[in-house]
Chain A
Amino acid sequence: MLRYVAKRLLFTLPILFVVATCVFQLARVVPGDPALVILGDQANAEALQALRQRMGLDRSLMAQYLSFLWDTVRGDLGLSLSSNRTVWSEISAVLPFTIELTIAATFVGVVLGVPVGVLAALRRNRVADYVTRLLSLAGLSFPAFVSGILLLLAFAVQLRWFPVVSRIVINDPLTRLHNLVLPSINLGLIMAAYVTRVTRSSMLGVLTEDYMRTARAKGLSRRRIVWSHGLRNALIPIVTVVGLYFGTMIGNSVLTEIVFNRPGVGKLILGALQSRDYTLLQGLMIVFAFFVVMVNLCTDLVYGLIDPRVKAR
């Protein structure tokens, strides 16, 4: 197992390296002089030159690239162009809110999605199955900002159960939780739709496997056959979807944060776009890519736990 983990970790390094290279290249495509962007049109030549020097823009592209790589490896993502603080401090200030949101949403998605998916598979082609399928199809059709707006209109504007604008007070866990409910439901329901669908189809596949018949031939009860023999074998595609969904979820959480006016990476991105803060965007991409790669790594490790055959490979 340890060997397997080490191997998978090793495999993520080239991906991260190429990701960093792409981000670096992408940032160089930006038209215009970043120093000019920061200091504005009125800046004098000396100040511009000084800033360029400070940012290392006067060096050769190769030298810039190498120091960028070296800085990234050390976790130094550079200076934000708009705030003059380090990119990492900008991101880390809001990252907990986004992480909190995604974890809560994943919880909603899995706890709701898996049982509903299994039940739909067991009642294949009956009413419950059709209803589940239609609802989940509709659920995964929602752009996060559309569902967010509708939830906001219904529960905050009409029913007034939740605040229209989140006001997050760090020291008050109850308010913080209350503010989390609507956004995480928004994000979680969309995810539950995906999880339900993949659980259903994966379970349907498993139900026709030979070993399920063997389990019946052993005289096991139906419940034990489904939940103990079936679900474990159906889990791999489910874990895959949860893992793959992570990338979509980051995008959706950005939209959710914007709609619910929550602090978080989403609003940071909006700000960075408006102020054309490319180092911040670049840093965000690297952090996100890092998270996505790590989540993929985790799903691979979970495969190893679920399916003994994976380790053998």
Chain B
Amino acid sequence: MSLLSVSGLTTEFRTDAGWRAAVRDVDLEVGANETLAIVGESGSGKSVTALSILRLLPEAGARIAGGSCLFEGRDLAHLDETAMQAIRGARIGMVFQEPMTALNPTMTIGNQIGEVLVRHRGMPRAEARAETLRLLERVRLPSPARRIDDYPHQFSGGMRQRVVIAMAIACRPALLLADEPTTALDVTIQAQILRLLKELQRENGMGMIFITHNLGVVAQIADRVAVMYAGRIVESAPVDEIFARPLHPYTRGLLQAMPRHDRMQDLEPIPGAVPSIRETIVGCAFAPRCPLRIARCVEAPPLDAVGENHAVRCWVAAEKVPA
């Protein structure tokens, strides 16, 4: 039984050329205690997917054009705003990419965390403060009692990210959306934050959607992986499987283009660039950059199951593998 089940999610943005899809027909499943990593380059739609699930996209410029997000028996895509507010921060927490700008600069970190507890758990202020202290200790902010009344600018990036995490888990949500939570951090701090997220997940039995562009981080934290390209999922598989047996030419390309520090390998760049949201895509979006391109790629390939839990959206790759 999965915790969140997204199907057919399509999100569109208003451009000067009309409404264009940034996320097309995305299906996702996340269970309790499970980490799904969504990996892709900029413009792949990975962040938009997360923001669509929580319905945090700007109302004027974006819309969910189709699909459903079933979570705890309700369809988030069609919930009214008030009901959605009761879910945000309470049942689903979110951690953002930029710890430097994600916190309100004019409010103490204690109040920013306490606010969630007052809002969702109805705590009186004093109780919320005590709980906030506990949370800050839990995310290993050094000397929390002394720093609870400090403002965000008095913290380093890593420490701010701990505050954001404390805020996201304050109500013990069932699902955590982490949108590139370590991209802005140095590697030594990144390792600490990844470890913290894992611990918290284990403690609370949370499901987690972890969005990143870094395949190394994916290998560290994910149970299952979905690779996105130009708004679509092009391949999904368990983590061991996808690194051992990548099928989609884009997944393979990414692995071959990433320089590794643990061994020397020849880099094989993917030629060309990611299509812009304004371009109209016919057929397979990756075809113009693809080494395996065949005539049939002018038709859009479906996401074909090619093994247990492994699916790939490619005419060539799906054919080669005995299903």
Give residues of chain A (186-214) contacting chain B, Cβ–Cβ below 8 Å. Answer: 208-211, 213-214
Whether B90 pairs with A219 at a CB distance below 8 angstroms is yes
* Cβ contacts under 8 Å, B119 to chain A: 218-220
B102 in contact with A210 (CB, 8 Å): yes
Query: Are A214 and B153 neighbours in the complex by a CB distance under 8 Å?
Result: no
**What is the minimal beta-carbon distance from B48 to any residue of chain A, in angstroms?**
13
Q: Provide the residues of chain A in CB contact with B85, threshold 8 Å.
A: 219-221
Indicate which residue in A208, A213, A217, A233 contacts B106 across the interface (CB closer than 8 Å): A233
Per-residue CB contact flags for chain B residues 91-119 toward chain A (1 = under 8 Å, else 0) read 00110101001111111000000011001
A residues in contact with B168, CB < 8 Å: 217
Query: Whole-angstrom distance between the alpha carbons of A222 and B84 in the complex?
Result: 12
Task: Look across to chain B and name the residue whose beta carbon is closest to the beta carbon of A233.
Answer: B106
* B89 interface contact, C-beta 8 A: yes
Interface residue from A124, A209, A219 paired with B88 (Cβ < 8 Å): A219
B96 CB contacts on chain A under 8 angstroms: 210, 213-214, 217
Contact between B101 and A209 (Cβ–Cβ < 8 Å)?
A: yes
Do A216 and B56 touch (CB < 8 A)? yes
* Complex CA–CA separation, A222 to B81 (angstroms): 10
Contacts A210-B101, A308-B151, A308-B153 given: A217-B107 contact, CB under 8 Å?
no
Task: Say if the beta carbon of A100 comes within 8 Å of chain B.
Answer: no
Of A214, A306, A312, the residue contacting B102 (CB under 8 A) is A214
CA separation between A210 and B89, bound complex, in Å? 16
* Residue A76 interfacial (CB < 8 Å): no
Q: A210-B96, A312-B153 are in contact. Are A218 and B106 (CB under 8 A)?
A: no
- Nearest CB to that of A212 among chain B residues? B104
Measured CB to CB, the nearest residue on chain B to A236 is B106
Q: Is the CB of B90 within 8 A of A307?
A: no
Q: Total interface residues on A, using CB and 8 Å?
A: 24
Bitwise, B111-145 to A at CB < 8 A (1) or not (0) is: 00001100110000000000000000000000000
Q: Does residue B164 face the partner (Cβ distance < 8 Å to A)? A: yes
Complex Cα–Cα for A304 and B168 (A) = 29
Instruction: Out of B81, B89, B154, name the residue touching A217 (CB < 8 Å).
Output: B89
Contact A216 B88 (CB under 8 A): yes
Cβ contacts under 8 Å, A133 to chain B: none
- Expressed in whole angstroms, the minimum distance between the Cβ of A235 and any Cβ of chain B is 9
Q: For residue A308, which residues in chain B have a CB less than 8 angstroms away from its CB? A: 105-106, 151, 153
A312 (CB) vs chain B CBs: closest residue: B153
- Which residue on chain B has the smallest CB distance to residue A235? B106
Q: How far is the CB of A131 from chain B (nearest CB, A)?
A: 19
Q: Is the CB of A213 within 8 A of B56?
A: yes
Minimum distance in angstroms from A93 CB to a CB of chain B: 43
**Are B106 and A219 in contact, CB atoms less than 8 angstroms apart?**
no
Q: Is A8 an interface residue, CB under 8 A from the partner?
A: no
Measured CA separation A212–B86 after assembly (Å)? 17
Main secondary structure, interface of A, reads: helix
Min distance, Cβ B110 to any Cβ of chain A, angstroms = 13
The distance in angstroms between the C-alpha atoms of A265 and B58, with both chains bound, is 50
Q: Is B101 a contact partner of A307 (Cβ separation < 8 A)? A: no
The answer on a CB contact under 8 Å between A307 and B105 is yes
Q: Once the chains bind, are A218 and B107 in contact (CB under 8 Å)?
A: no
Q: Determine if B54 is an interface residue (Cβ-Cβ < 8 Å).
A: yes
Does B98 contact A210, Cβ atoms closer than 8 Å?
Answer: yes
Out of A210, A217, A233, which one reaches B54, CB within 8 Å?
Answer: A217
* Closest B residue by C-beta to A208: B58
Write out the residue numbers on chain A whose beta carbons fall within 8 Å of the beta carbon of B106.
Answer: 232-233, 306-308
In the bound assembly, the distance between CA atoms of A176 and B174 in angstroms comes to 65
Residues of B within 8 A of A74 (CB): none
Q: Which of A211, A219, A229 contacts B101 (CB 8 A)?
A: A211
A54 interface hit (Cβ, 8 Å): no
Contact in complex: B86, A229 (CB < 8 Å): no
In the complex the two chains form, what is the Cα distance from A125 to B14 in whole Å? 15
Are A124 and B120 within 8 A (Cβ)? no
- When chains A and B are docked, how far (Å) is the Cα of A232 from the Cα of B96? 22
- B104 close to A211 (CB less than 8 A): yes
| Contact assessment for A218 and B105 in the assembled complex, using a CB-CB cutoff below 8 Å | no
Q: Does B175 sit within 8 A of A, measured CB to CB?
A: no
The CA-CA distance from A306 to B104 in the complex, in Å, is 12
Q: In whole angstroms, what is the CA distance A215 to B90 when docked?
A: 13
Chain B neighbourhood of A208, CB < 8 A: 58
B16-33 residues with Cβ-Cβ distance < 8 A to A are none
Residues on A with C-beta less than 8 A from B87 are 219
A211 and B151 contacting across the interface, CB-CB below 8 Å = no
Q: Given the complex, which residues of B lie within 8 Å of A220, measured CB to CB?
A: 85, 89, 115, 119
Contact B104–A214 (Cβ < 8 Å): yes
Query: In angstroms, how far is the closest chain B Cβ from the Cβ of A305?
Result: 10
Residues of B within 8 A of A125 (CB): 60
In the bound complex, residues from chain B placing their C-beta under 8 Å from that of A210 are: 96, 98, 101-102
CB distance from A210 to the nearest CB of B (A): 4
Inter-chain CA distance A168–B113, complex, in Å, is 55
Within B136-178, the residues touching A (CB, 8 Å) are 151, 153-154, 164, 167-168
In the assembled complex, the Cα of A312 lies from the Cα of B152 at a distance in Å of 12
B88: chain A residues at CB < 8 Å are 216-219
Chain A residue, CB-CB nearest to B177: A217
A residues neighboring B (CB under 8 Å): 124-125, 208-211, 213-222, 229, 232-233, 306-309, 312
Q: Which residue numbers of B lie inside 8 Å of A, CB to CB?
A: 54, 56, 58, 60, 81, 85-90, 93-94, 96, 98, 101-107, 115-116, 119-120, 151, 153-154, 164, 167-168
- 13 residue pairs bridging A and B, Cβ less than 8 Å apart: A125-B60, A210-B101, A214-B102, A214-B104, A217-B56, A217-B88, A217-B89, A217-B94, A217-B168, A219-B87, A219-B119, A221-B85, A233-B105
Other A-B pairs beyond A211-B102, A218-B116, A220-B115, 5, CB < 8 Å? A210-B98, A216-B88, A219-B119, A308-B106, A308-B153
CB-CB nearest 8 A-B residue pairs:
A219-B89, A219-B88, A218-B89, A210-B101, A308-B151, A217-B94, A211-B104, A219-B85
